[in-house]
Structure 1
Amino acid sequence: MLGFVWMGLFSNQALQVNIDEKFFNTTINVIGTIEDIPKVGNNKTQFIFKASSPFKAKLKLSWYEKSRVKIHSGDQWKFLIKIKHNNSYQNEGGFDYEKWLFFKQFDATGYVKRSDSNQLLAPNTGLSIDLIRHKVQKRLVDSISQLEFMGVINALIIGDRSLVNNDHWELFKSTNTTHLSVISGLHIGLISGFIFLFSSFLWRQCRTCTLKLPASVIGAYFGLFSAFSYALIAGFSIPTQRAFIMASVVFLSIILRRNHNSWQLYGSALLLVLVSNPLSVFSVGFWLSFYVVAIIIYGVKQHQDKHWLFRLLYIQLLISLSTIPLIAWFFSSGSIFSPIANIIAIPVFSFITTPFSLLGIILSYAQLDLLSEFIFSVANQSLVYLSIFLHYLQSFEFNQWQYTPISVSALVLLIISILIGLLPSALKLRQVALILAIAALFQPHQQLKQGEVMIATLDVGQGLAQVVRTKNHVLMFDTGARYRSGFNMGEAVIVPYLQTQQINAIDLLIISHGDNDHIGGLDSLLKKISVKQIISSVPEKISTNSNLCKTKPSWKWDGVDFQMLNTTHDFNGNNASCVLKISTSKHSIILTGDIEKKAEQHLVNIWGKQLKADVLISPHHGSKTSSSELFLATVAPELVIISSGYKNRFNHPAKIVINRYKAHNIVISNTNCSGQIDVTLSQEITITHYRQAQKRYYWRQCE
């Protein structure tokens, strides 16, 4: 009970934003201090800004500055900025950025505007951890920038992965080895454990010393100091805080000479982590790290009569297999070769890459530059050879495995079945384990029937992306936007959604027209998902083979009718948008792209009463240029779905259009309020709003 009360109080405090509403979505001057090491990218610099005036808040800011003004941790700056409330796209399978911002306790996000008023008020001249980390990073960049895996070495030393090459990160991600490429509990545990053993060994060489103080106690002091130092140089990030607490519990029990069993120490560490930061439960790393430690404790007690090498391999196998359910739960995808990749990668990182990287930076500060360069080259070469092996595993077409999303009960059953199955004395229980595994995996999956269709309007901010499914077919209508930073809706929203739904191929992709907010995610989508056919009003803008929408006027899938409507007039721009009507035996929906009043008039003239539909996708995101009176009266929808961005710069949907919908008694749903919106046309029309269905207390409230 006390735990729930503490969590509630802590969360309530984290939700308090001490910024007056008048400061949002407007240009303001703020004074504050740079925190942590800024993340420098190709097009922007991202940093944490602790504002002190005209309000006190923790901000996550981006600075798009071509001249690359250098900013350092601890510097005091005055910036002209624009901030907005924490917000993210909410879709099945997507990254919950709002949860991440809440977990990191950011009050708002925003960007720095170009202005002569942006100025450094006071450089950091004091001694701070972040300044030390920045100087270490600068030394690394100056001395080993020519090494292929310099970014990974930097991440292992100071916990900053911003310099990790994208190709390297994708390689680690595709083989489930990303946890090794940044400072984690594993690295801190291994380094502090090694220091513990080494210092204990040296102390034992002095017989008189051991009479005064046991070697294990001296080792624990040095181990604790090394864990603290490593966590400190990593900026005491939440993962390193967690690892330091876990190491501290173990070493303090040795120093205080208390005989506690492994599970007591484990429980103490878990309690301390949760008391120090209850929001840790929102971190995937929290669950994985404590889960893996529990598996290690469990595994160490098995096969104690076997050779140490066998037991080591057994624990590694146990970790690899037992984490599959958690990976399925958190990520819905993984590498089928993950156990093999980690069996090789963990020893490489643990015994070569990480210790040699740390030794290299120590030797560098000791002015032993030649030896330091050699040590760094060994660390780099270990990653070169490892990457060759990982590339080989990655090359197999079936390497990436998409897991069906599982429930909490299924997750628990799977973990229990794996643990029972791997017990050395579980011969009689393995049948039970098999039954539990089958029960966990056998989950009723709602399947569309003949003549039914589901349209998922994804939350892609200011843009449009819709997935249409019948019993045996999939259609994609538009792909959202791509931004100058490289971030795009194909990679961030559409592909994760399709993977969550176990969709590996699209039968037909329709690009309504050539605006960025409708075509921007196309290239990323094509890289990940097989597309059989593409039609568009702008085939010249599409890199692969495609045809005009009018070449496919109508078709039928699984008892559902599809009709292209805007095919008989040569419009340009928004009015050229492909318009699609989807009809079942009882209901229908019209997908409109960005058509405006002129094209709407044309459709009314051509189709007349045949435009009648139950559901309408709001033309042009609810712009005042569209949704004309005549068009609405002709279509006469019961429901309109608007796909628009939160607080977008176009002020979509326009108030005049909203009033027009209300005057026609049309129910309004908007992705900027509801997130992903699913509409199913069967005997009845059912609609699901993702934000309302999956409601979280830390999500932005709908206005």
Structure 2
Amino acid sequence: MAAAALPARYPLPPFGLACTAAVLLGMVAVLWSPALPPVAVLWLGLVAGIGGWCAGARWRWTGAMLAGAAWAGLHAAWSFGAQLPPAWEGRDVIVSGRVVGLPEPQARRTRFLLRVDDADAQPAPLRGKLVRLAWYDDFGAEVAGPRTRLGAGERWRLQVRVRAPRGLANPGGMDAERHAVAQRIAATGYIRHPALSRELAPARGIDAWRDAMSQRVAREVRSDAARFVRALALGDTRALDDADWQVLRATGLTHLIAISGFHVGLVAGGCALIGAGLWWLFPALARWIPRPQVAGAMALAGAVAYAAAAGFALPTVRTVLMIAVVVLARLARRHVRLVDVLALAMLAVLVFDPLSLLAAGFWLSFGGVAWLAWCLPASMHWAKAFLPAQAVATIGLLPFTAVLFGQASLAGPVANLVAIPWWSLVVVPLALLGTALETFHAGAGVWAWQAGAACFGPTWRLFEVVAAHPQALHWLPESPAWTLWLALAGGFWLLMPRGVPGKALAVLLWLPLVWPDRERPRAGEVELVVIDVGQGLSALVRTSRHALLFDAGPAVEDGFDAGERAVVPTLRALGVTHLHALVVSHGDNDHAGGVDAVRDSMPVRTVLSPLASGVPARAPCVAGAAWTWDGVRFRFLHPGRYFPYLGNEASCVLKVETAHGSLLLPGDIGAIVERGLVHRDAASLRADVVVLPHHGSAGSSDPAFVAATSPRLVLNSSGAGNRFGHPRAPVVARWRARGSELLDTQSSGALRVWVGADGLQVREQRHERPRWWDAVRRQRAGGLSYRPEEERPDAPED
């Protein structure tokens, strides 16, 4: 008897869910690796991967993954290779180009993107590239000058000082270098000699239209809610301040305030209904074009138009692609599942822009739709699906928001129940109607904008009250990468159909993400974290149950604020919810500038600073003052009780002592004070870890002071390429001659040191979490280190 024939294997679709997942997996593997393969290897991998993808079902999944990895690697290499070469760092160049996107005007500066002309007259490394610039007012000027006339879509000729995009490296901090790679930004810089700037051509293009329409909303709508109408109608969030974003984060409504994919879907649905209605009124039109095809075409046209009004943000592009897939299937009279639509849209985004994986929007956008597609039946009525969809989105996206933003909004599910139907079905249609009417006739849409603002106002006041509740938003400590996948598995388990056993246990899989190990020192031990703040200082000293912050980094008006951008995110990522003490070593901006941001963000029990430093403090730091926390002794060695305030020389000098070793934080003292300390009590200066005095300036680190401290480890906080040349080479050589190892934030990022029973342990942020752009930059620059993303050109001399 012949053996029964085995059923033929169903062929794996080349553009289905499995192959899309394979492409995604390959791209993630490359973009999150510590180093990129050589370009030649990537090209070979791309050819081999495409061949396997097309060969047949047996190699299709493997080929798709290999092709995705190679394609992402090539884009990464091209993006980083287009950045400014090290030889051009700090040069003044003259460029001509068009303003891209919407400029961000502020009190004393304007930030904007410039697409440099692709012409031979432009500097070769910047030709045709995207550059992020800051246009500052002349220091001390009463009038803002021509920068206030800068408009989207205009062409300008500018003299700029440029550098390669760089950022800080801290736990929980924004990765500015990753953002620059993802956005293909070739250089950053600021305008030199603003008086020489010249406008070459007036505004044109979609960005110019968005800018003009946004300004019209601001002029015509006399309401505090006008800024939200601009955001919902045009994706213009420039008028939203920090307080607005805090409310949106606390209530979990950030995804709604700018143009979202859901809003694009509503517009597409409305356009489809209009098209179907016209064909219902005039049925004779169906002789030429069937009604379903017209409805689909109008839906796609409306979605594209609305996405263009939003500047083609990633969530809108995803929705447009999904609508396009559905429309094409309709035209071909094919039925497609939601999961197939999502897979094709994701594949299109990944092929067109693999580096979008580096942006949080990709994961939130596609992740949210994927959870809904998996959990909710396609046949469920939209009214019945609203509450389940909210629960699914909350559970499914919580791991992503926890990892990407380090926060969880407990008020979000309730706030979304109000905001989604009211804003999306009332406010957004009114804002869009006003924009459409205003496009065709000036003044015709003002009433709709005003009605949208009037409808938005009461809900916003309600959400402000909700956001003020102390339990509305929880900041989560930074957790290892593997906790994300564990939490997603828990969410998957929790959302499985009824009858699946052990669902309550799924919550346990979330614990490593929401309650990670904070790596606190044990009793009698101490941890020192030198935060990467650029040219300045901020250091966290932790015992088992107490936290002290020594300085808060620099801040400049309307510019870089280390307290907000570096110190506070680091404290939250490390699980510090309040400070028992804040020591401000002296009043100079590079040490005290970020104090206000720190005090506004978390409770501070007491502030200590030298007398007459200008820093509001509860008590002065005075030599001899001492206290003990958790078996660790803290004491000030300087300034003395009657020492006058002399800026750097009056810096607080803090000694931290344990049974296992000691730390010394000397602020910005110079050689004279150092010799005085040696003369008074050289033994008290002995320490295992020393923060380099005055960032390694030539007037500090006196040989006698170096000999008295004799540390094993010296830590420095400085900005790469800083104009002071810190740390000075003779100073570095002096410490190393005593057998000390010297680490600097500009090359290592944040520095974490533990002094305890296990000995002296060190962790460098850039080496602990290596990234391929770090490796490539070190290769290109031969060890050139790092500095803040932006530096005010008129910052005071140190």
TM range (shorter): over 0.9
Supply the AA of the counterpart residue of 1:341: A
Match of 2:599 in 1: 526
Supply the AA of the counterpart residue of 1:696: R
Match of 1:152 in 2: 228
Task: Assess if the C-alpha contact under 8 Å between 2:584 and 2:615 holds in 1.
Answer: no
Match of 1:143 in 2: 220
Structure 1 residues 361, 93: CA separation in 2 closer, same or farther (over 3 Å shift)?
same
Structure 1 residues 441, 328: CA separation in 2 closer, same or farther (over 3 Å shift)?
closer
Supply the AA of the counterpart residue of 1:258: R
Match of 1:561 among 633, 638, 653: 633
Match of 1:61 in 2: 133
Structure 1 residues 368, 28: CA separation in 2 closer, same or farther (over 3 Å shift)?
closer
Structure 1 residues 229, 91: CA separation in 2 closer, same or farther (over 3 Å shift)?
same
CA distance in 2, matches of 1:552, 1:502: 31
Supply the AA of the counterpart residue of 2:202: N
Structure 1 residues 368, 628: CA separation in 2 closer, same or farther (over 3 Å shift)?
closer
Structure 1 residues 381, 597: CA separation in 2 closer, same or farther (over 3 Å shift)?
same
1:388 aligns with 2:465: no
Match of 2:174 in 1: 95
Match of 2:268 in 1: 192
Match of 1:535 in 2: 608
Q: Map Cα deviations across residues 605-631 of structure 1 (whole Å, 9 max, x no partner).
A: 111133111211100011111011111
CA distance in 2, matches of 1:459, 1:661: 21
Match of 1:51 among 116, 121, 134: 116
Structure 1 residues 394, 551: CA separation in 2 closer, same or farther (over 3 Å shift)?
farther
Q: CA-atom RMSD, angstroms?
A: 2.2
Aligned length in residues: 696
> Alignment partner of 1:107: what SS?
strand
Q: How does 1:338-417 map to 2 (within 5 A)?
A: 338-367=412-441, 369=443, 372-417=445-490
Match of 2:669 in 1: 595
Match of 2:101 in 1: 36
Q: CA deviation at 1:208?
A: 3.9
Match of 2:62 in 1: none
Q: CA deviation at 1:540?
A: 5.8
Structure 1 residues 630, 204: CA separation in 2 closer, same or farther (over 3 Å shift)?
same
> Alignment partner of 2:638: what SS?
coil
Match of 1:114 in 2: 193
Match of 2:579 in 1: 506
CA distance in 2, matches of 1:493, 1:538: 27
CA distance in 1, matches of 2:691, 2:613: 26
Match of 1:488 among 550, 555, 561: 561
Q: CA deviation at 1:106?
A: 0.6
Match of 1:644 in 2: 718
Q: CA deviation at 1:269?
A: 0.9
Supply the AA of the counterpart residue of 2:209: I
Q: How does 1:37-436 map to 2 (within 5 A)?
A: 37-52=102-117, 53-55=122-124, 56=127, 57-65=129-137, 66-69=144-147, 70-120=149-199, 122-124=200-202, 127-144=204-221, 146-210=222-286, 212-301=288-377, 308-367=382-441, 369=443, 372-426=445-499, 428-436=501-509
Task: Assess if the C-alpha contact under 8 Å between 2:84 and 2:163 holds in 1.
Answer: no
> Alignment partner of 2:185: what SS?
coil
TM-score normalised to structure 2 length: 0.83
Match of 1:13 among 64, 78, 101: 78
CA distance in 2, matches of 1:449, 1:131: 58
Q: Which stretch shifts more, 135-144 or 672-681?
A: 135-144
Match of 1:2 among 60, 67, 72: 67
Q: CA deviation at 1:212?
A: 4.9
Structure 1 residues 445, 90: CA separation in 2 closer, same or farther (over 3 Å shift)?
closer
Q: Map Cα deviations across residues 128-162 of structure 1 (whole Å, 9 max, x no partner).
A: 22233233234333333x22122222222332211
Task: Assess if the C-alpha contact under 8 Å between 2:267 and 2:302 holds in 1.
Answer: yes
Residue identity (%): 29
Unmatched tracts of structure 1, length 5 or more: none
Structure 1 residues 573, 632: CA separation in 2 closer, same or farther (over 3 Å shift)?
same
Match of 2:737 among 659, 663, 676: 663
Task: Assess if the C-alpha contact under 8 Å between 2:535 and 2:718 holds in 1.
Answer: yes
CA distance in 2, matches of 1:210, 1:674: 68
Structure 1 residues 123, 624: CA separation in 2 closer, same or farther (over 3 Å shift)?
same
Supply the AA of the counterpart residue of 1:149: A
CA distance in 1, matches of 2:509, 2:194: 63
Structure 1 residues 396, 20: CA separation in 2 closer, same or farther (over 3 Å shift)?
closer
CA distance in 2, matches of 1:166, 1:584: 41
CA distance in 1, matches of 2:146, 2:86: 31
> Alignment partner of 1:530: what SS?
coil
Match of 1:460 in 2: 533
CA distance in 2, matches of 1:634, 1:408: 43
CA distance in 1, matches of 2:675, 2:486: 58
Q: Map Cα deviations across residues 338-381 of structure 1 (whole Å, 9 max, x no partner).
A: 10111111112211122111100222233373x52221112101
> Alignment partner of 1:236: what SS?
coil
CA distance in 1, matches of 2:497, 2:112: 51
Unmatched tracts of structure 2, length 5 or more: 1-65, 138-143, 785-798
CA distance in 2, matches of 1:74, 1:13: 26
CA distance in 1, matches of 2:224, 2:421: 20
Match of 2:545 in 1: 472
Structure 1 residues 417, 211: CA separation in 2 closer, same or farther (over 3 Å shift)?
farther
Q: CA deviation at 1:696?
A: 0.9
Q: CA deviation at 1:264?
A: 1.3
Q: Which stretch shifts more, 27-36 or 394-403?
A: 27-36
Task: Assess if the C-alpha contact under 8 Å between 2:476 and 2:514 holds in 1.
Answer: no
Task: Assess if the C-alpha contact under 8 Å between 1:151 and 1:165 holds in 2.
Answer: no
Supply the AA of the counterpart residue of 2:368: V
Q: CA deviation at 1:560?
A: 1.8
Q: Map Cα deviations across residues 302-332 of structure 1 (whole Å, 9 max, x no partner).
A: 8x57x65232221122212322222111111
CA distance in 1, matches of 2:454, 2:515: 45
Q: Map Cα deviations across residues 147-187 of structure 1 (whole Å, 9 max, x no partner).
A: 21222222223322112344333321221211211122222
Q: CA deviation at 1:211?
A: 5.5
> Alignment partner of 1:506: what SS?
coil
